[in-house]
């Protein structure tokens, strides 16, 4: 006989984990958008002919060497790329675990 309360608990747990996974996927998408923005900035900066560019710090605009700005953006792109890879791995692990939980839950429901 199927223990209804245990099944309901497992369903709630599944839904909680599914929501957590969706949240992680949203965060991953935000990081990917951030990467696109940094890449666009780097591409634009590489097209710029001058040696000095201007950077906004809060409400202050300061001059900065183009090479230094390129290095900063490249470093940030690398950090973002590493974060994306880390999050993709976490999403895969959680997704696989969620799929196993779903399969187990289906088996329980089938009896």
pLDDT in tens, 47-86: 999 999 999 989 999 999 999 999 999 999 999 999 999 9
CATH number of the domain where residue 59 is located: 1.10.287.370
**Is the whole model's pTM more than 0.75, yes or no?**
yes
d(CA 84, CA 27): 9
d(CA 76, CA 35): 9
Residue with tokens 């002919």: 49
Q: Is the pLDDT of residue 17 over 70?
A: yes
Strand spans (E) along 22-94: 52-57, 60-65
Other beta carbons within 10 Å of 83: 15
> Which residues, listed in sequence order, are joined to residue 61 by a DSSP beta bridge?
56
Domain extent, residue 100, equals 4-110
């Amino acid at each position: 006989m199927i223990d209804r309360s245990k099944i309901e608990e497992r369903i709630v747990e599944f839904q909680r984990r599914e929501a957590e996974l969706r949240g992680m996927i949203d965060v991953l998408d935000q990081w990917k958008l951030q990467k696109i923005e940094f890449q666009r900035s780097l591409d634009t900066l590489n097209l710029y002919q001058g040696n000095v560019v201007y950077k906004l710090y809060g409400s202050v605009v300061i001059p900065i060497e183009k090479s230094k700005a390129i290095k900063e953006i490249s470093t940030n792109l690398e950090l973002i790329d590493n974060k994306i890879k880390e999050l993709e791995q976490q999403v895969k692990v959680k997704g696989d675990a969620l799929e196993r939980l779903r399969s187990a839950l289906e088996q329980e429901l089938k009896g």
